[in-house]
Structures are given as structure tokens and as C-alpha cells.
Chain A
Amino acid sequence: MATAENPKYKVIGTRPVRHDGADKVTGRAKYGADIKLSGMLYAATLRSPHAHAKIKSIDTSKAEALPGVRAIVTSADLPAQGDRIVELGEGAANMRHLTANVLAREKVLYKGHAIAAVAADNIHIAEEAIKLIEVVYELLPPVMDVRKAMAADAPILNDDIRTASVGSAPAAKDSKPTNIAKHFLFEKGDIAAGFAKADVIVEREFDTAMVHQGYIEPHNATALWNTDGKITVWMSTQGSFSARQQTAELLKVPISSVKVIPTEIGGGFGGKISVYFPPVAALLSKKSGRPVKLVMSRASVFEATGPTPGSHMKVKLGATKDGQLVAGEAWIAFEAGAYTGSPIGPACMCVFACYDLPNGRVEGFDVCVNKPRTNAYRAPGSTHVAFATETLVDEICEKIGMDAADFRIKNAAKEGVRRVDGPVYARIGMVETVEAIKNSDHYKTPLEGKYRGRGIASGFWFNCGLKSSASATVNPDGTVSLLEGSTDIGGSRVGIAMQLAETLGITAEEVIPTVGDTDSAGYCDVTGGSRVTFATGIAAIEAAKDIQRQLVERAAMIWEVDVAQISYRDGGVHGPDGKFLSFKEMAGKLHATGGAVIGRGTSSAATQGGAFGTHCVDVEVDPELGKVQILRYTAAQDCGTAIHPSYVEGQIQGGAVQGIGWALNEEYWYDERGEMRNATYLDYRIPTCYDVPMIDTIIVEVPDPQHPYGVRGVGEVPICPPPAAIANAIYAAVGVRMHDLPMSPPRLSAEILKKK
């Protein structure tokens, strides 16, 4: 569904063809695995077959003797890190854990944990050599369940972890090693008094399985450690500056010794922020004197990169019979994986974020288990808790006999409301998204048929600001070359170029955007947090304003008048007595008036107002098989101002379908030995185009006053509502409440049988 073009703007709200489009539909675009350098070696990685074990010894001598093998590295080649915490742009990392995750040191903590890597003349020799490395393990019992890992007698993964208290959580009582890395507690109001006012209280326990981002392009890195000590890395990454910093910290070299050249990137969704291969490829290059390429296998992408946690949650909500929420309580435990760092913090902040909740208490735990170290995945932590809260809201609505949209409108968070964890909302569009669904053709059309049901659910994501920069050079033909450092996962180049074009009064096609490397572009934080169109957009707008200022100065020189008499508007400079020169005319005079005009812009302090979405879904359940068919899907989302509506819709549609996969199919399926038994696309089963219908979108525009054009990030929040919306629809269809994800055929048919 298209939005009307935005009448306030000339470029914003239009749908130009993306600048990198021709390369991407002809196969010319260069992704990480497409890099080929002269003399390049190919490398393979040895990975642990065990989920939890001590490494007693590693013998690489037979592998070294294989003809064609040029270098081998193990953790012994990576510098020791000690206890260092390093800020990496979108969160901090413990360097001791980060280096042990890149190449295991004393222990392996999950099946697939990297142990060694071999560079050889071709990939086949490297893979043969891997099999010749002899590792002696001492097996330890794996801990695969978050609740078991929290038990006092649980096997401990990391002997350096003690529970850190966050918010108002009490300090840990003893100083013994534990799997509970963090304990969060947020409180607001008086929870006992709140529940005392409730006419209806629902409390349920929820379990969700670990799931993966599932980007189609596996991780990769090609590195050259040159004889001058400079390291160049070609890789697909969500943040070239973060990758540079992680690589430099892991190798203990200055950041200026590392240059990251970001290639095109084949999806990330949060999973391509953490570094796995660059330091390994760099060390292999140093040892061999040749460039070295590493490309991950699909199985290793599943087993050994950063999925999002499985969870166990207990959530309780109370409301009055006229539909006023009065209190909420949540207890949330997340599987951090091998090392601390799950998105439990955001989960605690998001669990009641859609509502104006007067009394709340949220407790959260970050727990190590023998699974891969988790990473960000699209609105990290928010989908889990939306599943819990939004299904409870549905149950309350049923008990008090209130329409689910009306209940949400009545209790929606709005400007001035304080979240349980503290912050007070700026202007947000939660109410508007629910109203958009309530007024949609979808919601107003009755759903008929046996075993069919409709559900709605809402979701929240903060969106972040962080640091961005851009520079823009005016070309004599009236175009602008835009250079920025935010790697482009889903079309952000065109969205940023459009904001520059709007500010200068030129067309999107007259801007030529380039994503630069770490030696050419100014610093940009990671492409994550739904921040790039917002923050790098602001940087591009600032760069355009800088160009405007310089062109005003040039015009003052040309017309021999004071700069105060000149202004830049409507695509050109206006002077006294109706004098006007268009941008293109000014560009043509560049060389005659002093040479290059280069604008620069940065953004840093900005935070965003927050994104909300409400989805509506119709399903049909096969009561024998427990299979759920999505019949119709509509997603409404507050996008602030849609810069390029097609790519806004695309983010909403893609997020919704990822959420549908999470709801119905996707899960890490481990056996008792801690081995993932479904580490292929066929068995993990992300949605195909045959599984889903068209995804209708309703773009709601409540401009964020913190951005000059009102942009709100759109990328993440659309993944949050689908599991709950589908669970609510399943209940409407067959009368069973689902509390576990995924709601796969075996789980759903078991619940249907129980009810019978």
C-alpha cells in the first residue's frame, strides 16, 4: 500500500531508483566473498565438536606438513587481553571474552566454537589440513537450559563471571563464579497497591527458543597484513569503524594500523556487528605474507555466530473491569550464550513500553549457557517480551469483554508517560498505529470460516542516535558526491542522498552516494538501532547546509554584496534585486570562484523518540496438523516521515515476515549433548515466499521533532508484534493459548489435543 507523496517536500516521499541498484541486479556488486587479490590464500576453521570441554592440547604438526598449507593460527597467536572492557559503539565488550570467542583459549563453550584456522593454496587443502589438527579435550557437562544454568549446582562456563547488579537490583551475596552475569531490576509506583486495584489479573509463563538472524550471506573477511605493519580488511560488516576497533583491540595494534574496506553486505539484522574472522585472517596473512580470505559455512553461521537468546519469562498484568491497566510484573531470564551480553537490558525496558503503566516491576537475568554468544537481532529483546505482554493483553481483553484495539488505545503510552525503567516519552505514535489498524479495511472486514481467527499486537523499539558523519563535494556539473561511512544493508544510501538532495533543492539522482572505508569516510557508528536514515541523514543535512553557506559566500563574491544579503533556498542562492543563481549555475562557477566546495556534517547528541507498530493478522489453523496458514497481514507503523516510502514498506514487510518465522517455525533445536540438530536452512526453516501472503503496510507519520525532516528509524520494530499477533489469532481460531515459541505444528497440535 503506497502512501501519498509528501506535499511538504520535493524529494522526500518520492521513490527514486536506488543508486546501487544497477550493480545489484546485474551481479556486479561486490560482496565480501567476491574479493579476490593476487596471491590470495583460502582459509578454513577448525571448530569444536563438543558443547563444553577443556582444551588439553592442540597439535598442528600434521596439518603443517600437508603440501599447500601456508599458515596455521590458534589462540596462542592472539595477544592476551586480561580484564578489559571496551566500548564498541553499540555496547561494550569484555575483551577477554571477545578474544576467546574468536579463537577458544582454555575451554570451548559451544559446539562450533572456533579453535584454529589454516590458510592454504586453495580451500580444499585448507579443509583437509583442518582434519589433521589433533585436539585433546576433557569433556564437561553442557548446560543448555537457562533455568538449569541459574541453579546453584550448575556447571559453570566462565570462572571470571560474577553477577553484576543493574538498576535497583541488590548486590550479589557471594563472590563465587556464576552463570548469572547480570541482574536487572526496574520498579515504578507501588506494585502491591496496583494489583489490589485490579479486577482481573493474568499471569503466565513463556518459553521462547533461540533464533538466528538468518541473513543469506555468510560472514567473511579477507585480510592483508602488509610489510609496513598496516592491516587492510575487506569484509561485509554492519560497522566498518566498529570492526576496525574490534580488530585492532583483538590484535593489540593502534586503530590507525587497521583499514576496513566495507564491501556490500548481504544482510545483517544485528548479527554482523561482532567480529569473528578479521583478526584470524590478519594473523594468517602475517604468518604467510599473503592476503588470506575466510568465508564461513552456513552450518557455522548457525552454530557459531550470534543468534538472539532463548528465554524463560513470567509476566503478570492487572486491569480494572473497565479496561484500565493498573499493574504489571515481569521476570525475564535470557540465554546469553557462552559469554555475557544478551539483550536482557532492552527486554526489561521494552516489556511494558507500549503502555501507560502506573505500577510496574521488572526483573531480568543475563545467563550463560553452552550455546553461541548471542548478538543483536532486530529490536533485540523486544520481540520476546512483546510475545508475553501482548498475549496477556489479549487475555485480559477477552476476560473483560473489551475490543483489543480499544484497550490498547485506552492504555497506550504517549508523550510525557514514564516507562518503568525511568525515561519519559517524547512525541510518539503508539495510539496512532492502533487507530490505523482499527480503521483499516482489514480490521473492519469480518473474518469468516472454521478454524480461522484474527489477532492484533503492538511493539516498541527505542531507535538510537549515536554518532555519524558525512561529507559532500560539489561537482562542476551540478551534482554532489556524498561520502558517508554507514554500511548500507537495505537501501540507506538512497535515503541519505535524498535528505541531502532535499536540503540543497536538487534531485536524488543528482547525488552520487558512496559508502567509504575507514581511511576515507568520517566516523560512523554501526548500522544498527534503526539509526542510519535518522543520524547519518542528519549528518548529510548538515553537510548540505555547509555547502549552502559556502555557496552564499561565493555568490557574495560574484555579486560583490554582503553575505547577509544572500540566502539559500529553493535550490539556489537569492541576492538583492531579485538576483538568483541556481545550484547548478553556482556549481558551474566553482573553479572560477576558488575551487572545490566540500560540505561536512556530523551528528552525535541526538536520541530518537521511539518507534511503535501495531499488526493485524488472520490465520487458519489445521486442527489435525497444527499448521498455521497466514491468510492476511496488515502492519501499521509510525515512521515519523517516510523518506523513501518503498524502502520503509520493505523494512516493515521484511521485519513482519522475520517475526512470522520466529512465531511459527524457527528454533535452535539442541540434543542433550549440546549439538544443534538443525543447522541448515532446510531444517531451520525460515519463511519462503510460499509461506506468506502479501504484507499490507500502513505508514503512519508522526514526525520526530529531533530530526529536521521528522525521521524515525523504521527497521527494527516490525519484528516485535508478529508472534503475539499470531498467538492471539490462533486463540481466536481454535481456542488454545500458546505460551511457547515457535508455535510449530508439533507444539500447536499438542495444545489442541490437550484441550480436547
Chain B
Amino acid sequence: MSGKRVVTLTVNGDRVEFLCEARQTLLEVLRNNLDLTGTKEGCSNGNCGACTVIMDGRPVVSCLVLAVEAEGSELRTIEGVARGSHLDEVQSAFLEGAALQCGICTPGFIVQTEALLEENPNPTEDDIRFYLAGNLCRCTGYDKIVRAVQAAAEARQVAAN
């Protein structure tokens, strides 16, 4: 397949340019071209949420976005969540609350949680479960994930006040 395209966008605050084929997904380009392998592939059809990134403020599954569609967008991936060398509240809450076991779904959950707390800084348990229902975890049974999101929301509220 010929006709590669140059795509220019912002990734985690940096201006980035890459060359891609029209058939390549954003997920493939993030992982293979840009070496941002923190975004995980679990199903490649939008079912599991492991590849969630925030695109122009909205969480998307990057396996269902073509790389060329990312032209001009602002992207935030798991690699852009920590503030320099400091974990943010969501990451800390996942660690402190043992909200991960194997960890493969964790980047997707953390990114989705960032989007949730941006939209709704004070979510109920039901809000959290509804917003995260597109992210699958097979290890934890979700209990500690939901509690970690609650803890992160609280920590962020405390920090804001």
C-alpha cells in the first residue's frame, strides 16, 4: 500500500510528526512509530479499553481511530499523566489501593479516570462504574479500582481546596 501521509499533532504537550499508512490505527502508530507502548492492545476492536487515550479532551479507544484522523489533535496518553517525576493523584491512588494486579489494563483505566475526573470531579460510585464500564479488568473484580478512583477524586478535591 502506497501513499504514506505525514501527520502532525500534539502528544503529551510536545509537537510530534509521523509518517503513516492510511490503514494504520492510532494505537499502532503510538506503539510502533512513537514507541509509546504504555498504551496497550487487548482486543483491537474497541471492546476492552486498554488502549484508551484522551484526544482533544475526550477519551477514545485508539484502536478505533485511524492515525490520519489524529491530524492536528491534542493527545494525552498514559505517559503524559505523571507530572514530571511525580505521580498524579490517580496513579498514586491505584498504587496505594492495590488497584492493579497484572497491570495490563491499568494505563487504560488511569487515562479513562483522568477523563472522568475532568468532567465530574466528584463522582458517585454509580457514576464511576458507568464511566469505566468500557474498560475491562480480569484480575481485580473492580472493587479496588472503584475505591482508588474515589480516593483520587477526594485527594484532588483536598488539593484544590
A677 adjacent to chain B (CB < 8 Å): no
A267 and B143 contact, Cβ closer than 8 Å, known pairs A31-B40, A215-B102 = no
A–B pairs, 10, beta carbons within 8 Å: A21-B95, A22-B95, A30-B37, A34-B31, A269-B138, A653-B142, A653-B144, A682-B47, A688-B142, A689-B145
**B134 contacts which chain A residues (CB < 8 A)?**
688
**B133 contacts which chain A residues (CB < 8 A)?**
688-690
Q: Which residues of A contact B (CB under 8 A)?
A: 15, 17-18, 20-22, 24-31, 33-34, 36, 123-124, 213-218, 264-269, 295, 297-298, 489-491, 644, 646-647, 649-651, 653-658, 680-682, 686-690, 692, 694-695
**B78 contacts which chain A residues (CB < 8 A)?**
26-27
Cβ A25 vs Cβ B87 within 8 A: yes
A124 and B21 contact, Cβ closer than 8 Å, known pairs A21-B95, A217-B42 = yes
- Additional A-B contact list (6), CB under 8 Å, known A21-B100, A26-B81, A680-B45: A22-B95, A25-B95, A27-B36, A490-B139, A646-B97, A681-B48
A216 and B104 contact, Cβ closer than 8 Å, known pairs A266-B40, A298-B44, A680-B43 = yes
State in angstroms the CA–CA spacing of A36 and B32 once bound together. Answer: 8
State in angstroms the CA–CA spacing of A270 and B39 once bound together. Answer: 25
A446 CB to closest chain B CB (Å) equals 24
A138 CB to closest chain B CB (Å) equals 33
A92 CB to closest chain B CB (Å) equals 27
Q: How many residues of B contact A (CB 8 A)?
A: 60
Cβ B103 vs Cβ A26 within 8 A: no
The secondary-structure label for the interface of chain B is loop
Cβ A216 vs Cβ B142 within 8 A: no
**A29 contacts which chain B residues (CB < 8 A)?**
103
B68 CB to closest chain A CB (Å) equals 15
The secondary-structure label for the interface of chain A is loop
Cβ A690 vs Cβ B38 within 8 A: no
A26 and B87 contact, Cβ closer than 8 Å, known pairs A34-B37, A650-B98, A680-B47 = yes
**Minimum CB distance partner of A214 in chain B:** B138
**A269 contacts which chain B residues (CB < 8 A)?**
138
**Minimum CB distance partner of B91 in chain A:** A25
Cβ B87 vs Cβ A681 within 8 A: no
Cβ A650 vs Cβ B137 within 8 A: no
Cβ B136 vs Cβ A686 within 8 A: yes
State in angstroms the CA–CA spacing of A703 and B104 once bound together. Answer: 32
State in angstroms the CA–CA spacing of A213 and B139 once bound together. Answer: 10
Cβ A124 vs Cβ B1 within 8 A: yes
Candidates A22, A27, A657; contact of B141 at CB < 8 Å: A657
**B23 contacts which chain A residues (CB < 8 A)?**
124
B34 CB to closest chain A CB (Å) equals 12
**A25 contacts which chain B residues (CB < 8 A)?**
87, 91, 94-95, 100, 103, 106-107, 110
B132 adjacent to chain A (CB < 8 Å): yes
**A646 contacts which chain B residues (CB < 8 A)?**
97-98, 144
**Minimum CB distance partner of A27 in chain B:** B38
B79 adjacent to chain A (CB < 8 Å): yes
Candidates B1, B32, B48, B130; contact of A216 at CB < 8 Å: B48
B5 CB to closest chain A CB (Å) equals 15
**B38 contacts which chain A residues (CB < 8 A)?**
26-28
Cβ B44 vs Cβ A297 within 8 A: yes
Candidates A30, A490, A687; contact of B102 at CB < 8 Å: A490
**B143 contacts which chain A residues (CB < 8 A)?**
649, 653, 694-695
Candidates A24, A30, A649, A654; contact of B106 at CB < 8 Å: A24
**B14 contacts which chain A residues (CB < 8 A)?**
none
**Minimum CB distance partner of A694 in chain B:** B143
State in angstroms the CA–CA spacing of A264 and B105 once bound together. Answer: 13
Cβ B42 vs Cβ A218 within 8 A: yes
Cβ A689 vs Cβ B138 within 8 A: no
Give a binary string over B13-41; 1 marks a CB under 8 Å from any A CB, 0 the rest: 00000000101000010011001111111
State in angstroms the CA–CA spacing of A111 and B38 once bound together. Answer: 33
Give a binary string over B75-102; 1 marks a CB under 8 Å from any A CB, 0 the rest: 0011101100001000100111110111
B146 adjacent to chain A (CB < 8 Å): yes
State in angstroms the CA–CA spacing of A31 and B37 once bound together. Answer: 9
State in angstroms the CA–CA spacing of A695 and B137 once bound together. Answer: 15
State in angstroms the CA–CA spacing of A265 and B110 once bound together. Answer: 18
A22 and B142 contact, Cβ closer than 8 Å, known pairs A647-B98, A681-B136 = no
B124 adjacent to chain A (CB < 8 Å): no
B137 CB to closest chain A CB (Å) equals 7
**Minimum CB distance partner of A659 in chain B:** B141
**B146 contacts which chain A residues (CB < 8 A)?**
689, 694
